[in-house]
Amino acid sequence: MNRIVQVLLLAMLSLASLTAQAQSARLRAANRQFDNLSYVGAVRAYEELLRADKKKDPAETREALIKLGYSYRKLQDARNAERVYGELVKTYTDLDSEIYLYYAQALATNGKYRESQKMYSQYGEKQGQDLRGRRFTVSYMDMNRFYQDSSSYRLYDLPINSRQADFSPMYYKGGLVFVSARDESGAIKRVFNWNQTPFLDLYFHPDTNQLRVPGSVVTRSSNAAVLGGGGDAKANETETIVEPQKLTKAEIFSKTLNTKYHEGPMTFTKDQNFIVFTRNNTGKGKSGKSSDGVKKLKLYSAVNKNGKWVSIQELPFNSSEYSVGHPAFSPDDSKLYFASDMPGGYGGTDIYVVEYNNGQWGTPVNMGKEINTEGNEMFPYADEAGHLYLSSDGHEGLGGLDVFYAELRDGVAYKGVQNVGAPINSEKDDFGFITDRGRTTGYFSSNRKKGVSDDDIYSFRRTCKQLNVLVYDAKTGTPLEGADVRIVRNSVNQDLRITNEAGRTDLCIDTNTEYEFKAIKEGYAMNSVRYSTLTQSPKPTMDLKIYLERSENTLVKGVIKTEVNQKPAPGVKVTLRNEKDKSEQTVTTGLDGGYEFATKPNAPYTITAQKDRYATKKAQYGKAKKKAVVTDSLGLYGVGDVFQLKNIYYDLNKFFIRPDAARELDHVLAILKEYPQMQIELRSHTDARATDMYNIRLSENRARAALDYLISRGIPASRLVAKGYGESEILNGCVDGVACSEDEHQQNRRTEFKIVAVQ
């Protein structure tokens, strides 16, 4: 098994104190392999020791079995791990509780859920801190929930898979970048000491359309689950995998990024010109290893300039003492999710999030117990709606790593995580999941042994469960064309659809979801109908009818956007207040930032938009006419945002305010007067020419000149901070030693305006 031991964050076994008796030569040799993380060699040595000496020392036998089981665990050999842990549990009664946990996990990975349930129960009895014992014991009483939607999926084994591990795909320019341990070219073959497999590199297949070649179909069915118990059988499962016809050529992604050690999962910004990727610590000697002698994982970034990846830099929150890896940008590039075993987490590895704004990284924040468990959470991915997928062995699943989904609201998984179920998940490890907004197509990795090798990449398609929403005139029964249908999912606005000439719009619906559909049309009163999929209908297509009554009311519609980039703002609480009767209506915006209200005519009203860490925006409106439709958009300024203004540029080696810069500062002046509690940082930058010290001083002078200009026009100095960054944040790869035009250097001589506080 490659991926877990190489790309997963390394965690050493905490073994109980063993006997102080002198160790035999065989045990010392085996322990040296174990201590050096050479688990293949350790397995051979421990197995030989246990076979060879018929009069074994009981303490040595116990130690050898514990470390042998752990070695098989690290090699992801679940069958042998089950055998060894089974022998330990059968032979000894005073084992540490972790042995029962590892035995339960091995049994589940081998599909033996009834036996696994018993071991989880014993694990829970032996300690009270880790809730996995209780949760998995209850979960395995009924396996059906993991198979609710399994018939909707069809899996495809991809022709890019090799004889070695291939995993963690990521979309890139119409193709896929992925991680592989496939055989390297050249006479010297480097292998990873842990499991004697090649080191990992990044590979690229340029066209996903070529990966959709049809092939032979393999179908695996199983018996029904045993009610009241886990059972070894899977519940009502039909797994169909279309196998590839031939291997498709994949190329090395970048000779600049790939090194002689590990490069792992990666992520790209939306423009795909900025990458963050996982790599072993590249420091040599002591600087490259932690205090326990292990090269940890770090995150690095690079910029694509003229087709080449340049400016490779460490991210500022890396450490030689713990690992960070598995990066994933949010859809708007404002956040980076990643996995780490840094101190202060909930378990082995946790998911963290860090803000990223205009080249600046914030401070990583643990995503909390709604996401993280006492186990391992890793391989995060944010879909187009900003919701999170991850893999975990700590949340209840089918065994090994399972893929989970978390719907985020203001960065919080307010409903916890949901297992996406079979056949995406299996009793083995399933991870590296990427998909579209509706989870209708995508890719993931698994070691379910259906592919060519250990870890393989699969694609999937999910058939749609269609709901037709039909809008009619309540009096005449006539279909209403051009009516807006707002989809509200779990109390948050989602898509806005428009009915066709038959008064219909349709959508694919998810399981276990509460929907509300609001129909809106000029000249009619708004009406809504609720629809639940908590119980499933066997029908592939269903109809939902909404009837609208004619009305004199006014319709108020709009979109909330962020001022920094004019993109729709989700998660905004929008309130309409009727200033005549003081009544209020409230909605929460979805991905499109949209809101809709019906209000009485001839009454003034106020729209208020509120979101945490954003300045509250209020807009007042006069009396609206009958049957009118009022459309407006509101902009929000948020902490960390850089103003959507032309950057202030400076002449080479100068720091005085040019006339064009003064005009732009007047725009900032107007914003500061509109929001009297807002505080900003003036951030000045230089190009890469001249020395670092000179550029720092020059940028500080430039920032101070902008600050003085605003103070001279009445803004209190307490609301302003000036800071020079020199050449530390180059935008376009024009660093020392890179040839660039004068226009390209000019882009880096700039002052930015960042909001640091709002109220």
Residue 429: per-residue pLDDT: 93
Residues 478 and 428 in one domain: no
Is 378 a domain residue? yes
Phi/psi at 429 (nearest 5 deg)? -85, 130
Is 643 a domain residue? no
For the stretch 90-100, pLDDT in tens is 999 999 999 99
444: how many CB neighbours lie within 10 A of its CB?
A: 27
Q: How confident is the model at residue 19 (pLDDT cuts 50, 70, 90)?
A: very low
CB 593 within 8 A of CB 572: yes
Is 641 a domain residue? no
Segment 453-459 shows an average pLDDT of 85
For the stretch 133-142, pLDDT in tens is 999 999 999 8
CA distance 362 to 120: 39
Which has the closest alpha carbon to 401: 382, 375, 381?
375
Domain boundary among 506, 525, 547: 547
Q: How confident is the model at residue 728 (pLDDT cuts 50, 70, 90)?
A: confident
Is 225 a domain residue? yes
Residues 111 and 72 in one domain: yes
Segment 44-56 shows an average pLDDT of 83
192 Cβ contact list (under 8 Å, min separation 6):
2, 5, 6, 198, 199, 262
Residue 215 has pLDDT above 50, yes or no: no
Q: Provide the number of structural domains found in the chain.
A: 5
Residues 341 and 244 in one domain: yes
Residue 605 has pLDDT above 90, yes or no: yes
Residue 738: per-residue pLDDT: 87
Is 560 a domain residue? yes
CA distance 85 to 68: 9
Residue 721 has pLDDT above 90, yes or no: yes
Residue 187 has pLDDT above 80, yes or no: no
Residues 53 and 122 in one domain: yes
Residues 270 and 160 in one domain: yes
Which has the closest alpha carbon to 132: 147, 143, 144, 121?
121
pTM to 2 decimal places: 0.72
CA distance 707 to 711: 6
Range of the domain at 586: 554-636
CA distance 177 to 261: 18
Residues 243 and 133 in one domain: no
CA distance 727 to 708: 22
CB 594 within 8 A of CB 557: yes
Segment 617-628 shows an average pLDDT of 82
Q: How confident is the model at residue 678 (pLDDT cuts 50, 70, 90)?
A: very high
Is 642 a domain residue? no
Residues 239 and 125 in one domain: no
3-state secondary structure string across 561-625: EECCCCCECCCCEEEEEECCCCCEEEEECCCCCEEEEEECCCCCEEEEEECCCECCEEEEECCCC
Residue 46 belongs to domain with CATH number: 1.25.40.10
Residue 524 has pLDDT above 70, yes or no: yes
The region that residue 421 occupies, defined by phi over 0 for left and psi between -120 and 50 for alpha, beta otherwise, is left
Residues 541 and 560 in one domain: no
Q: Considering the chain, what percentage of its residues have pLDDT values greater than 70?
A: 84
Q: How confident is the model at residue 145 (pLDDT cuts 50, 70, 90)?
A: confident
CA dihedral sign, ordered 665, 671, 675, 676: positive
Tell me which of 654 and 693 has the higher pLDDT. Answer: 693
Residue 479 belongs to domain with CATH number: 2.60.40.1120
Q: Which pair of structure tokens corresponds to residue 332? A: 């708007």
Residue 218: per-residue pLDDT: 43
Q: What torsion do the CA atoms of 471, 474, 480, 482 make, to the nearest 10 degrees? A: -80
Q: How confident is the model at residue 411 (pLDDT cuts 50, 70, 90)?
A: confident
Residue 228 has pLDDT above 50, yes or no: no
Residues 26 and 165 in one domain: no
Q: Which pair of structure tokens corresponds to residue 355? A: 């803000």
Is 267 a domain residue? yes
Least confident among 352-356, 357-361, 381-385: 357-361
Tell me which of 161 and 198 has the higher pLDDT. Answer: 161
Tell me which of 367 and 753 has the higher pLDDT. Answer: 367
Q: How confident is the model at residue 686 (pLDDT cuts 50, 70, 90)?
A: confident
Least confident among 18-27, 489-498, 531-540, 590-599: 18-27
Domain boundary among 89, 114, 144: 144
Residues 525 and 591 in one domain: no
Segment 718-725 shows an average pLDDT of 92
Q: How confident is the model at residue 644 (pLDDT cuts 50, 70, 90)?
A: low
Segment 183-195 shows an average pLDDT of 48
CA distances from 727 to 37, 302, 650, 733, 741 (A): 42, 16, 14, 11, 16
Residue 351 has pLDDT above 50, yes or no: yes
Residues 113 and 164 in one domain: no
CB 566 within 8 A of CB 640: no
For the stretch 372-395, pLDDT in tens is 999 999 999 999 989 999 999 999
Residue 182 belongs to domain with CATH number: 2.120.10.30
As a whole number, the mean pLDDT across the chain is 85
Is 604 a domain residue? yes
Q: How confident is the model at residue 8 (pLDDT cuts 50, 70, 90)?
A: very low
The region that residue 482 occupies, defined by phi over 0 for left and psi between -120 and 50 for alpha, beta otherwise, is left
CA distance 415 to 490: 10
Residue 658 belongs to domain with CATH number: 3.30.1330.60
Q: How confident is the model at residue 582 (pLDDT cuts 50, 70, 90)?
A: very high
Residue 144 has pLDDT above 60, yes or no: yes
Residue 118 has pLDDT above 80, yes or no: yes
Residues 365 and 445 in one domain: yes
Domain boundary among 396, 427, 462: 462
Segment 241-251 shows an average pLDDT of 65
Segment 511-516 shows an average pLDDT of 85
For the stretch 273-285, pLDDT in tens is 999 999 987 665 5
